[in-house]
Structures are given as C-alpha cells and as structure tokens.
Structure 1
Amino acid sequence: MGLLLVLRPPQPRPKSLRRATRTQRRERHRADAGEWANAEEYGLLLDVSVEELLPLMNAAGGNRLSILGQLDPWSDGVLSREDLPQLDVEVDRLEATADDGMERELVAALRALLARWRDEPGLMLHWYGD
C-alpha cells in the first residue's frame, strides 16, 4: 500500500471517488501516469510506502500532527502553500524521531519535496492513496 505525494498545479475538482474500489481509483489515476512519470523525473513526486510512514508518524505524534495526521492512505487530498510552515514543523518532529536509515531517508525525501515546493509557487501538494 502506498501514498503518492505529487506537486502539481491546482486541478479541477473531480467527482468524489469516496466509494470507489482500489481498482477504480487506479483506473482513474492511470491517465495521470504520464504526468507522474515526468513529475518523478523532476523531483516533484514522492511515492511513500504506508508501512514505512505510519510507524514514523505514530512515533512523532500520530493524529496530533495537524497536517501529516490527515494524510489518509485510502483517500486523496490537497495541501495548499499556507500549510507549508506547519508541515515544516511536523517534518522536524519526524526527523527527531527517525531511528534508522530508512526513516532518515524518508524524512530527507520529504524535505527535498518541500524544498522543491518552495521553488515552485504555482503548485499544490496533492496526495493520492491506494
């Protein structure tokens, strides 16, 4: 199970897929695969394993993290630039609790994505769950 974090321009609001199956969600996002491949090439995409992220988030405060705590691996959402300062604080908390090399690499990848977001003011951080 994964969580895809993508920096992309604001998108038109699609019809809700709240009751969609995982297969339907993947089909819906298959059209975005080309865009995501380009985004990954330019450092605008981070594919995170939920099994790696959740233990780190729980150690850093879990649901008390106001922004990272709302990332749901079964839904989609968007973060705006106003969320960036709080997100920096929460990534600092993740970094303070990172125990091993894998967790530190994940925090470094999150920091790189946030740094890229600062450089690209017209983008928003979208997340897509499985």
Structure 2
Amino acid sequence: MGLLLVLRAPLPRSKSLRRATRAQRRERYRADAEDWATARERGLLLDVSVEVLLPLLNAAGGNRLPIMGQLNPWSDGVLVREDLSQLDADVDRLRAVAGNDVERGLVAALMALLARWRNEPGLTLHWYGD
C-alpha cells in the first residue's frame, strides 16, 4: 500500500469520471501513469509506503500535525506553495522522531522533494492514495 507524492503543474478542474465510459477512465489513468513516469525520471515523484509513514506520523503527533496529519493515504489531494512552510515544520518534527534507517530515509526523501518544490515555482504537490 502506498501514497504517491508528485510535484506537477496545477491541473485544470476536470469533470468527474463517475459518468465516464470505461475507455475514458482507462485513457485518463494511462495519461496519469505517463505523467508519473516522467515525474519519477525528473525526481518529482516520491512513492511512500503507508506502513512506514503512518507509524512515523503517529510518533510525531498524528492529527496534530497541521499538514502531514491531514494527509489521507486512501484519497487524493493537492497542496499549494502557501502550505510549504508549515509542511517544512511537519517534516522537521518527523525527522526528530525518526527512529530507524527506513524512517530517516523517508524523511530525507521528503526533504529532497520539498527542496525541489522550493526551487521550481509554479508547481503544486499532489498526493494520490491507494
């Protein structure tokens, strides 16, 4: 089970796929997969294991974390640049409680993704849950 964090340009508000045909849904998911592959190549995608993330979040304060505590690994969402400073503070709290190499690696990857976001204006951070 995983959570994808992807830096990408803001997406236009799209129509719901509830009434879309199967072919339309497949095409949209295929386009997303291509975007994610490109983002991975450019270092703009982080695939996070929920089994590692959730215990780390709970140790750092869980729902009391203003941004990270509100991420739902089973849904999708978007963060904007105004959220970046608070997200940095949340990641600092995660770094303080990381207790093993896997957790420290996750925090380092999150910090690298946020640094990349800081250096590339015009992007938003999208998360896609399982």
TM-score by length of 2: 0.89
Aligned to 1:51: 51
Larger radius of gyration between Structure 1 and Structure 2: 2
- Sort the Cα spacing of 1:127 and 1:51 in 2 relative to 1 into closer, same or farther, 3 A: same
1:11 aligned partner: 11
Q: Which consecutive unaligned segments of at least 5 residues does structure 1 have? A: 19-24
2:22 corresponds in structure 1 to none
- Paired residues in the alignment total 124
- Aligned pairs for 1:8-87 within 5 A: 8-15=8-15, 28-87=28-87
State the partner residue of 2:90.
90
Aligned-pair distance for 1:103? Answer: 0.2
Distance 1:62 1:27, change over 3 A: farther
The percentage of counterpart residues that share the same residue type is: 77
1:93-112 residue pairs with structure 2 within 5 A?
A: 93-112=93-112
**More displaced 10-residue stretch of structure 1: 74-83 or 27-36:** 27-36
Mark the CA change 1:26 to 1:125 in structure 2 (over 3 Å): closer, same or farther: farther
Shift of 1:39: 0.5
RMSD (Å), alpha carbons: 1.8
Number of the residue aligned with 1:119: 119
Unpaired stretches in structure 2, ≥5 consecutive residues: 19-24
Using the alignment, how far apart are the partners of 2:17 and 2:72 within structure 1?
Answer: 14
TM-score (norm 1): 0.89
Paired residue type of 2:99:
D
Question: Which residue identity lines up with residue 4 of structure 2 in the other structure?
Answer: L
What residue in structure 1 maps to residue 21 of structure 2? none
CA separation in 1, counterparts of 2:60 and 2:30?
33
Report the CA distance shift for 1:7/1:26 in structure 2 as closer, same or farther (over 3 A).
Answer: farther
CA distance in 2, matches of 1:27, 1:69: 33
Secondary structure, in 3 states, of the residue corresponding to 1:32? helix
Cα pair distance change 1:59/1:77, threshold 3 Å: same
